[in-house]
Amino acid sequence: MAELWWGDSEKGRKIHWLAWDKLCVPKEEGGLGFRNMELFNQALLAKQGWRLLRYPDSLLAKTLKAKYFPDGDFLNARVSPGDSYTWRRLIKSKELLQKGV
What digits encode the pLDDT tens for the residues 58-99? Answer: 999 999 999 999 988 888 898 989 999 999 999 999 888 888
Q: What is the pTM of this model?
A: 0.70
Q: How far apart are CA 34 and CA 26, in angstroms?
A: 7
Q: Residue 19's pLDDT band (boundaries 50, 70, 90)?
A: confident
Burial 63-78 (b: 16+ CB within 10 A, else e): ebbeebbeeeebeebe
Q: How far apart are CA 4 and CA 1, in angstroms?
A: 5
Q: How far apart are CA 77 and CA 49, in angstroms?
A: 11
Most confident of 2-16, 27-41, 59-73: 59-73
Domain ranges of the chain: 1-34, 37-100
| 58 vs 15, more confident | 58
